[in-house]
Amino acid sequence: MVFAAEIIKQWILSVKKNNRGMWKTKINHNIIGGVFDLNNSLFVIYGLPDAVDLANPQAMRLSIYALNRSPRKIMSRTYGGGVFEVSISQNHDFVLVNGRFDLDLINNKTKMVKSFNLLSEPDFEKQECVRK
């Protein structure tokens, strides 16, 4: 099973499964980067907002989506200094966001966010593709 996400029209996100349209929704940012969960249960995307906020012109938005029978947004968050990378935990319960100013550990179930200094990365086992 192969999933893909892309912006098909201005601010319309399309998610495809095995190269077939599965789901479309309006979003408030473009896609600069992101990651799909290895068991295809969720994905995270981030990018520049649809409208530039003059008070915070470097902001980036991050959205987390569940990919079960009826895909839905779990949560979204704005990052003032940008997002450089996102990772999903081995147990699929957490997302680690590497931002410009700190690391955020987001619990997908409770939506709680715990922030860490960039020099003190939390104990976090990332998903990895391994060749057998």
pLDDT recorded at residue 131: 54
Strand partners, 47: 61
Residue 19 CA to residue 6 CA, distance in Å, equals 12
| pLDDT at residue number 132 | 54
Under 8 Å CB-to-CB from 60, ≥6 apart: which residues?
29, 32, 46, 47, 48, 49, 78, 79, 82, 83
Q: Is 31 left (phi over 0), alpha (psi -120 to 50) or beta?
A: beta
Rounded CA separation 120/127 (Å): 20
What average pLDDT does the segment 72-95 reach?
90
Average model confidence (pLDDT) for the chain? 84
Q: What is the mean pLDDT of residues 84-109?
A: 90
The whole-model pTM stands at 0.85
Q: What are the structural domains, with CATH classification, of the chain?
A: 3-116 (2.130.10.10)
pLDDT given at position 130: 54
